[in-house]
């Protein structure tokens, strides 16, 4: 496992639509090493997720995991998840406004995310999954899958006045956001 450099906003790879991984290549050393590097890099950076495009790989692979993450104490746990060729389908029109950050963007800002989604993907063993995700977990999936489509969260910010650096967010906005989003998580359960 190798910690890889995370690309920053402005790098062209962050704006490409990643290519699908052929099912017969999932077990290859190349794809398995990529998955291991994604996990190691995400954990090293204390991220909740990481997409292959963020480490300059143009493939539809993302990893997610939330445990005891000091950056996101309000996020429900997500067991280590490897998503290959993920597809997201909103289940209804319910949205929640979430303040998001990104390892590739040195800012945070408010975006609307679907509360209820269906996700279909292959795991690192090529096993098919078809699952329902809700709440902030659904938001994490949407954020990572956006990366695979060349979309950054700042593209979805509708009110630029919500943009802040991590330090400014922590000093001026964090408490109000955490209170609001904690109530939301308690209401929807994830």
The pLDDT tens digits for 107-142 are: 999 999 999 999 999 999 999 999 999 999 999 999
Per-domain residue ranges of the chain = 12-188
Entry pTM = 0.95
Q: How far is CA 181 from CA 40, 108, 188, in A?
A: 28, 15, 10
Which of these is catalytic: 89, 144, 171, 186?
144
* Strand ranges (E), the chain: 49-51, 61-66, 78-90, 95-102, 105-114, 116-122, 128-134
pLDDT for position 187: 85
144 is catalytic: yes
- How far apart (Å, rounded) are the C-alpha atoms in residues 3 and 132? 31
Mean pLDDT value across the chain: 95
Tell me which CATH homologous superfamily contains domain 12-188. Peptide deformylase (3.90.45.10)
Q: What tens digit of pLDDT does each residue of 49-67 get?
A: 999 999 999 999 999 999 9
């Amino acid at each position: 496992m190798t910690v890889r450099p995370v690309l920053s906003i402005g790098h062209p790879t962050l704006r490409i639509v990643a290519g699908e991984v052929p099912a017969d290549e999932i077990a290859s050393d190349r794809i398995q090493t990529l998955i291991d590097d994604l996990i190691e890099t995400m954990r090293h950076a204390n991220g909740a997720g990481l997409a292959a495009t963020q480490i300059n790989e143009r493939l539809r692979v993302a990893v997610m995991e939330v445990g005891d993450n000091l950056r996101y104490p309000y996020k429900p746990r997500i067991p280590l998840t490897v998503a290959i060729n993920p597809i997201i389908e909103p289940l209804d029109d319910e949205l929640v406004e979430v303040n998001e950050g990104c390892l590739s963007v040195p800012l945070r800002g408010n975006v609307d995310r679907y509360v209820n989604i269906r996700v279909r993907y292959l795991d690192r063993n090529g096993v098919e999954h078809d699952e329902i995700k809700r709440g902030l977990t659904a938001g994490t999936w949407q954020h990572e899958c956006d990366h695979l489509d060349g979309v950054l969260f700042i593209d979805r910010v509708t009110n630029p006045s919500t943009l802040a650096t991590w330090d400014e967010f922590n000093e001026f906005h964090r408490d109000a956001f955490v209170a609001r989003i904690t109530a939301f998580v308690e209401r929807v359960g994830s």
